[in-house]
Amino acid sequence: MNVATGPIPHDRPRTEGPFQMSSESQPTAAYVHVPFCAHRCGYCDFTLVARRDDLIDDYLRGLELELETLDEQRTVETLFLGGGTPTHLPPDALQRLMTLLHERFELTAGAEFSIEANPAGLSPEKIAVLADAGVNRVSLGAQSFAPDVLTVLERDHSPEEIVRAVETVQTRIDNVAIDLIFGVPGQTIASWEETLQHAIALGVQHVSTYGLTIEKGTAFWSRRRSGTLVPVPDDVERSMYALAMERLPEAGFAQYEISNFARAGFRCRHNETYWRADSYYAFGPGAARYINGRRETNHRSVTTWLKRVLAGESPVADTETLSPEDRAREMAILGLRMTAGLSLSEFKTWTGFALSDLGGEAFDRYLDDGLLEVVEGRLRLTREGRFLADSVVVDFL
């Protein structure tokens, strides 16, 4: 079982030739990384600092300086604040952050403005700041409704706090999404089913279900190596994912990507930018931007990022310019994560490469094995293929 974290069918028309974007073409999506958390959970390998609220003022000043690298205010259709825990910021700092963003980004009519949040500490005052600033989508890191699972994950909230957080957000912001994790050591199928039912009953619009991954360098990695943390068997994790693919669509949440389910009209439009392999801005420590085939990644160390931007230096740690073939392969990798898959003809038009040529022997093999299928001219993972998505995509390309 290797389903990993979430990515859109390429339905949007493009008028330019295969990857021939104008040098003046600008992204219509922006991501901002807010690296603060109350504590670091044992499975987390994201760029963050815990119990370092003393750095918040410096961070906001550094972010202001990095945003000033934009020569003018940019118009975007989606703006996403991730972390870390952006809502860990106190209300006055949240207000300063919102002001900075509105100085540099103009949101189009009907734009999606998302923020990640944890249930703990999500006060009405913070929600008021967000709603008044135009935030219209909150993604809540619930992870589970089972107390014992939350304990294993080292979360700092209770199931009751999840319910209160959703209710608090919904007083001002209708579009609420929640993240859930399955495959947690000690978690049972029955417990996972109860968590899914709780999520459905909350009246949220979007649910993401992620199989627990234990990354090198995390506390969980060390505990697994020492034998104090025992992963669930593969067949149990598979059954949990299958249960999500059954229960959530039954309740009106259509699966549109390997890990993501949404009610009609509530897909995450910002994430769809990534899954289309479109360009996007990104700011903050560890943030990776992708513009016209060039990827730049900022330093993951929050203190290094701060030191550089406050000194007027570039925070970029790595850069990469993708060749046309590499861009085509990346588009295939991301697009195949979407349940609608990729149009064979449109992919060739957009990239200049045929999916069958990129896939080579793996293209036919996975079709024969029933892990890939072509339906109405679109190549997509079968339901069985979703269980082995990472292996299929890597081997395919």
pLDDT confidence of residue 396: 62
Is the separation of the CB atoms in 286 and 46 below 8 Å? Answer: yes
Is the separation of the CB atoms in 40 and 217 below 8 Å? Answer: no
Q: Where are the domains of the chain?
A: 29-275, 339-396
Is the separation of the CB atoms in 337 and 393 below 8 Å? Answer: yes
The CA-CA-CA angle for residues 55, 59, 60, to 5°, reads 125
Checking 261-268 for CB contacts under 8 A at 24+ apart, the result is 261/206, 261/207, 261/208, 261/209, 262/177, 262/205, 262/206, 262/207, 263/205, 263/206, 266/175, 266/177, 266/205, 266/206, 267/8, 267/206, 268/112, 268/114, 268/137, 268/139, 268/177, 268/206
pLDDT confidence of residue 250: 98
Task: Give 318-370 as a DSSP string.
Answer: EEEE--HHHHHHHHHHHHTTBTT-EEHHHHHHHHS--HHHHHTHHHHHHHHHT
The CA-CA-CA angle for residues 388, 390, 391, to 5°, reads 70
Which residue in this structure is represented by tokens 């109405």? 376
Sign of the Cα torsion 236, 241, 246, 248 reads positive
- Packing angle, helices 124-132 and 91-104, rounded to 10: 10
pLDDT confidence of residue 394: 80
Backbone angles phi, psi at 196, to 5 degrees: -60, -40
pLDDT confidence of residue 392: 86
**Helices H, strands E: what count in the chain?**
16, 17
Strand partners, 283: 32
- CATH node for 29-275: 3.80.30.20
pLDDT confidence of residue 11: 28
3-state secondary structure of 203: coil
Q: Give me 369's structure tokens.
A: 């094995």
For the chain, the first-to-last Cα distance in angstroms comes to 19
User: How far is Cα 37 from Cα 304, in angstroms, rounded to an integer?
Assistant: 18
User: How far is Cα 138 from Cα 126, in angstroms, rounded to an integer?
Assistant: 12
pLDDT in tens, 108-166: 999 999 999 999 989 999 999 999 999 999 999 999 999 999 999 999 999 999 999 99
User: How far is Cα 42 from Cα 40, in angstroms, rounded to an integer?
Assistant: 6
User: How many other β-carbons are positioned within 10 Å of the β-carbon of residue 108?
Assistant: 11
pLDDT confidence of residue 397: 67
User: How far is Cα 273 from Cα 29, in angstroms, rounded to an integer?
Assistant: 7
Q: Mean pLDDT for each 10-residue chunk of the chain (397 residues)? A: 38 28 68 94 88 96 96 95 96 98 97 97 95 98 96 94 96 97 96 98 97 90 92 95 98 98 98 93 97 93 97 96 93 93 95 92 92 96 93 77
382 closest CA partner among 273, 245, 180: 245
